[in-house]
Amino acid sequence: MLKLDAVTVRFGGLTAVNAVSLDMPAAGILGLVGPNGAGKTTLFNAISGLVKPGTGAIRFAGNDISRWPQYRRARAGLGRTFQIPQPLAQLTVRENLLVAQRFGAGAVDRQRLDEILALVNLLAKADCDAATALSLSELKALEVAKALATDPQLLLLDEVLAGMESESKRAFRGMLQQVHERFRVGLLIIEHDIETISALCPRVVVLNFGEVIADGAPGQVFRDPRVIESYTGQATA
Amino acid sequence: MTRPSRFAWVLLLAGLYVGVPQVFGGDLYLMSNIVAALTIGGIALSWSLLGNLGGMVSFGHAAFVGVGAYVSALAVMKLGAPVFAGMILGGIGAALASILIAPALRLRGPYFALSILAYAHIFKIIATEWKSLTNGSGGLSSIPRFPEWAGFDFGSKTGSYFIVLTLVLLFAGIYHLVRRSDYGLALRAMHDSEAATRVVGVNSLLLKALMLLLSAFMAGVMGAFNAHYINFLEPDYAFSTLWTTLPIVAAIFGGYRTIAGPLVGAMGVYLVDQLVFKSLIPSGHQVILGALLIGMILWSPGGLLPPLIRLFNRRAHAQA
């Protein structure tokens, strides 16, 4: 499904992502963790096309998409959310999804659109102004719904649960699980909360200074001394 | 906003197509001012389509107006094309010219505005220097006027009025359809969040290029209309910066986010300036216009039309 082959992204002298290779099977759930500045979001930006990798190849569903423009990646089934929600301003919630569906999936399917809205609990606010009428967790839900409307095979979720209190976090987690099962969509999740990651992801990849330092089941990865060191900044005895 | 009824539309069209020529048709001075105002209005409409839907501020519409005028005039004079076909060719010529500026669509805000300003001058230079084709700064004279059709002389003041009115209404209709379409929705979304629209599959650069193309076509046709209406062209006139600034003033005055705004603005700005201010201060009458524009931007940045509509709606509610 998604295959990264030694992907490197540099900003001037700074190497934000350094030779990251990753193989993600179809319709799986993969957690991407690491301390701040580890290069997680930059890696997302490279996969979704916001930045172009200096070297390396990004393969998705059998195609080398490294040089594809963003809109083409979206149409090919690669959806993403932004850490800071970016609703399509001036549009209603439903129109947000309508644009995503019309241009990302290719055709409007109102029944499916309502299904998505119901799943993320936004049906009651479907005709509200997206930029002004939603709470933070609703804006995050809209990010997911908008990406889902493009009919993706893989969703890149950039800290969709950050900033929520624990109860809505759990509800949101359940919603993501449902999204995964109902629409058979793969999830690649950036998240800091270890409880969330452990509950959702059978596999976790840890980035530090732009490099993969661990890859495995959450129980095993979060006990890895190198991972603990990357977070605490000191070697454990 | 309350929607105007079908009856109101019929009334408006009847007033424009029958009433205006009946009442003012005899006053050639007034009619020529109305035709000029509608010409500015059509360009203002094309400018605000690009600004409102495409999110781009153009300081280069004079280029599209001038190219449209020259292409149409030359197609009729050198190739013997019928005048109306020439006008369409003028629009196509302007649209093709807009493709040259398409690379600048990656630029935003003032950077785009500056690059299109520079770009507009290139065409003026071409029209001046390509003497074998355009007769340089000597200009083109005796550009064929609008023909007689079915016993009606479209070359007359009233005939030209019908042509420009039809063009403007046609363009307003196209604008309305585009805005209402899925593309209009995506364009509206791009305005504040271009990155977010791209990741849901919108080819934002292509959409912006299409708006530029459509806007240039409209401005080109208006320029072509003007060429056959006044029968004379020279580079300084055809590419005059007034073709950029007057429509901008009109669009902002009326409210460039609405379709009727630029038209109402053009009628108001141009007619009031020509018929009222000019008689008050024969030279330098634009000063009043400038002061009014500053006031407008300060107190009603959305233009004249939105507060008027609010006022109208409040009255309607009060009476109901």
Does residue B186 belong to the interface with chain A, where contact is any CB pair within 8 Å? yes
**Interval B245-261 mean pLDDT:** 88
Contact B193 A102 (CB under 8 A): no
pLDDT band of residue B319 (cuts 50, 70, 90) is low
Please state the rounded mean pLDDT for residues B114-118: 88
Nearest to A80 among B185, B197, B199 (CB): B199
Residue of A nearest to B196 (CA): A86
* Strands A2-11 vs A63-64: parallel, antiparallel or unpaired: unpaired
Q: Do B201 and A146 touch (CB under 8 A)?
A: no
Cα–Cα distance between A155 and A148 in angstroms, integer? 8
Per-domain boundaries in chain B: 27-319
pLDDT digits (tens, 9 = 90+) for B200-242: 999 999 999 999 999 999 999 999 999 999 999 999 999 998 8
- What distance in Å separates the CA atoms of residue B228 and residue A125, rounded to the nearest whole number? 54
* Nearest Cβ partner for B196 among A49, A72, A86: A86
Lowest pLDDT segment from A105-114, B131-140, B285-294: B285-294
Backbone angles phi, psi at A114, to 5 degrees: -65, -35
| B239-253 average pLDDT score | 89
CA distance B206 to chain A (A): 11
Average pLDDT, chain A: 92
Mutation target for B interface from A44, A72, A83, A91: give the one with most B CBs within 10 A.
A91
Instruction: Give the one of A75, A90, A131 whose C-beta lies nearest to B201's C-beta.
Output: A75
pTM: 0.87
SS3 annotation, chain B: CCCCCHHHHHHHHHHHHHHHHHHHCCCHHHHHHHHHHHHHHHHHHHHHHHHHCCCCCCCCHHHHHHHHHHHHHHHHHHHCCCHHHHHHHHHHHHHHHHHHHHHHHHCCHHHHHHHHHHHHHHHHHHHHHCHHHHCHHHCEECCCCCCEECCEECCCHHHHHHHHHHHHHHHHHHHHHHHHCHHHHHHHHHHHCHHHHHCCCCCHHHHHHHHHHHHHHHHHHHHHHHHHHHCEECHHHHCCCHHHHHHHHHHHHHCCCCCHHHHHHHHHHHHHHHHHHHHHCCCCCHHHHHHHHHHHHHHCCCCCHHHHHHHHHHHHHHHC
**Which of B191, B195, B200 faces A104 most closely, judged by CB atoms?**
B200
Residue-wise pLDDT tens digits, A83-132: 999 999 889 999 999 999 999 999 999 999 999 999 999 999 999 988 88
Q: Which residues of A touch B198 (CB under 8 A)?
A: 49, 69-71, 74
CATH number of B27-319: 1.10.3470
CA A118 vs CA A122, A215, B67, B195: distances in Å? 6, 35, 53, 26
